[in-house]
Structure 1
Amino acid sequence: MSSEGIFRFGSSSVDASGADAVNRDSVPIGDDRINLRSEAEETILVGNLVGIDVEPYRDQLEAIIRDSSKIILNQIWGTSKLESEFVNARGRSGGLISICDPSVFSKKGSTKGENFLHVFGSVAGVHPPINVVNVYAPQDATRKRSLWDSLLSLMGNYPGFWIMLGDFNEVRDGSERWNSVFDYRGARNFNDFIFCARLQEYRMGGMKYTYMSPDGRKCSKIDQVLVCDGFFHLWPCGILTAHPRLWSDHSPVTLSTRCVDYGPSPFKFYNSWLKVEGIDEVVKGAIVNCDLSGRPDVVLMTKLRQVKAKIREWRNMRSEKEPALIVALMDDCLYYDSLAKGCTISSRVEWLGDAVAFKWDWKHDLATPDVLEDLHNCTEEIKKIKFQSLDMGRG
């Protein structure tokens, strides 16, 4: 967590030993004695296969492996002010690392499980304690259910706000997978865990899927940021973003709690309204009648508010007249269509100003180009009114 109120995470993996806080400049990944000895033995074996005896240099070899297995955290975070907790790698799976800025997040302790790293402490300006759980769920369904139970038990032992983030290796519904099999039972267990833990999910922007298979044929949203009710209610405008995948098959995901206020939302105005007769007079009249003096920004805001009110009145008045106008135009279409077919017609409805009147006609000759043009204009006018009426309803 940084001073900008941003929680970051990338995909990593597992382990469960209870190591204390590590050096803030680097974190050893998988450097326990068993893994180190095994790596050295395999290197010596490869040397023997190619005819090179490296056994006399075992100590130097182990030192090289140990030094090269460290991740320089300053290169990831970009600052020397950091604290971290980790769990070691296991097999081919990477480790879990949680990094925080001590000037913002005061770390009190941690809990380490086989598939999660829990760090708890306090954030400046926030009264309840903050619990951040870095998760890398296994793919096996049984172990995954066991992880959900462990996390529920963990939440019962520590007070405060909860943030669970990482690779959950599970989706909530079928829309979060593409070109891969959807496991209904796994999704149900995951949703049951979220419900029992009373966790909330922010709407994610950016990338739709957070993971892509190496061949690019399968995508899924298995990386999540879940927060408790209290956290969500305190920062309801949090912004969750999945960024493009540049260095990994997983998308980096950030949750920003900074609330950006751009002021009141502007009123809607559709381009189609500009084609409606009378809109120019409405806007000009609203501005002319708003004679004010004072601060320019206040005057401008007042004029825009007046324009908004007058447009709303004009829109409501138009909405009342449009149904009758459409009926009249529909009847005109029937009239011109009859002329185009060389038929006779006895009467028609005509729109005259603010009223509907009946006009009687007795006999007409066959269709002329003028009649066809009138029919076309009439149908286009109906389309335009209906389109404008739709925008009126949206506004």
Structure 2
Amino acid sequence: MRGLNCRAKRTAVRSVISSANPCIVCLSKTKLNSVSSLLVLETLGAPSADFFFLPATGTRGGILLAWRCDRISLANPIIGTFHVSATVSLGASTTPWWITSVYGPQGMDEKLAFMAELHDLRDMITGRWLLGGDFNVITSCADKNNGNLNPRTMNRFRRFIADHALRDIYLHSRRYTWSNEQSNPTLVRNDRVLCTPSWATINPHHMLRCLATAVSDHCPLVVNCASRNLGKRRFHFERLWPKLDGFLTTVDEAWNSIPPDPDPFRRINSRLKITARRLQSWGRARRATSPFSFKLCAKSSTASTWRKIHV
């Protein structure tokens, strides 16, 4: 956050948080030596919020882990040098899982201590685990837009992920999460969310995305675990259909089945919809009644890709 000791900054942060309406909020680099309930209220805008926090060292670091008490419960805090962790309970009938908010250091020696602390933390806790924040370290060359890389640090981070069988949750709609905001910017994916396979199993609809903000040089990350309505399946025209018997008849009957309409735009829209539906039904029926089905794979003479032709 680059500091929450300014009321204008807390107001700006609250507007971003309100747009996502989360149950749990993890803020790093608060630059606060102490956190009060009033400050959390100004930042989250939720009177029913509770929190754990890691004090900043002077004007560096600081983590705030807050949650809505009316929706969720956090307990058993573990506060380290670079993280704040707690158990999350959704109700009496559910098994608690662990959440960790991190803020990775920039110095090389501190990065080693950071990785060691995360290893020790995992040895202390068991079960489902979700951890995220500003790790200040990347996993591959693709996480940075220039060649200024540290292979040893990347290898250590990848080894930590592999040793504890963690999943790097896919980030939708954005490749990088931090910018130095220069005319020729350095772009890095310093921020990410990791989880254990068991956590992903109990949250099968989880999705990680970014929010837009002018408050920080980092992009806020949102993990949404609610089920989503994927909507209707899009119409897909098969290239093979015009070569099959019955295609033209199906199109002709569907196109002319719409009653007259004086509005030409509404008329063409209705004809396209009914034709698409009839073709989908005709295609399914043809596949179901076909005496055989096979795939013919032919390698193109001008490309190394393969074409699949369904008959």
Q: 1 CA distance for matches of 2:247 and 2:295?
A: 16
Determine the structure 1 residue equivalent to 2:110: 143
Determine the structure 2 residue equivalent to 1:115: 82
Alignment counterpart, residue 193 of structure 2, candidates 200, 203, 225: 225
Q: 2 CA distance for matches of 1:226 and 1:186?
A: 17
Whether the 8 Å CA contact 2:250–2:279 is kept in 1: the answer is: no
Whether the 8 Å CA contact 1:241–1:254 is kept in 2: the answer is: yes
Determine the structure 2 residue equivalent to 1:24: 37
CA drift at 1:252 = 0.5
Provide the TM-score with structure 2 as the length reference: 0.70
RMSD: 4.1
Q: 2 CA distance for matches of 1:310 and 1:121?
A: 49
Determine the structure 1 residue equivalent to 2:132: 165
Determine the structure 2 residue equivalent to 1:177: 144
CA drift at 1:234 = 1.7
Q: How many percent identity over aligned positions?
A: 20
| Residues 93-104 of structure 1: pairs in structure 2 closer than 5 A | 93-104=60-71
Deviation digits for residues 44-81 of structure 1, max 9, x if unmatched? xxxxxxxxxxxxxxxxxxxxxxxxxxxx2223222211
Q: 2 CA distance for matches of 1:105 and 1:320?
A: 51
Q: 2 CA distance for matches of 1:126 and 1:279?
A: 55
Determine the structure 1 residue equivalent to 2:153: 186
- Gaps of at least 5 residues in structure 1 are 26-71, 289-299, 324-388
Structure 1 residues 23 and 14: CA distance shift in structure 2, 3 A: closer
Describe the SS at the equivalent of 1:181. Answer: coil
The reply to whether residue 308 of structure 1 matches residue 288 of structure 2 is: no
Deviation digits for residues 236-292 of structure 1, max 9, x if unmatched? 33110022242111000000001214367445226997799963323456999xxxx
Alignment counterpart, residue 237 of structure 2, candidates 238, 261, 269: 269
Higher deviation after alignment, 122-131 or 102-111: 122-131
What is the letter of the counterpart of residue 73 of structure 1?
Answer: V
CA drift at 1:103 = 2.1
| Residues 336-351 of structure 1: pairs in structure 2 closer than 5 A | none
Determine the structure 1 residue equivalent to 2:10: none
CA drift at 1:94 = 3.6
Structure 1 residues 256 and 283: CA distance shift in structure 2, 3 A: same
Determine the structure 2 residue equivalent to 1:256: 224
Question: Which one has a larger percent helix, Structure 1 or Structure 2?
Answer: 1
- Gaps of at least 5 residues in structure 2 are 1-16, 257-273, 299-305
Whether the 8 Å CA contact 1:138–1:144 is kept in 2: the answer is: yes
Higher deviation after alignment, 277-286 or 160-169: 277-286
Determine the structure 1 residue equivalent to 2:214: 246
Q: 2 CA distance for matches of 1:245 and 1:150?
A: 31
The structure with the larger Rg is: 1
Describe the SS at the equivalent of 1:156. Answer: helix
Describe the SS at the equivalent of 2:47. Answer: coil
Describe the SS at the equivalent of 2:161. Answer: helix
Determine the structure 2 residue equivalent to 1:77: 44
What is the letter of the counterpart of residue 231 of structure 1?
Answer: W
Q: 1 CA distance for matches of 2:291 and 2:28?
A: 54
What is the letter of the counterpart of residue 93 of structure 1?
Answer: R
Q: How many residues align?
A: 266
Q: Which has the higher contact order (CA 8 A, sep 6+)?
A: 1
Whether the 8 Å CA contact 2:24–2:68 is kept in 1: the answer is: no
CA drift at 1:9 = 3.9
Higher deviation after alignment, 111-120 or 187-196: 111-120
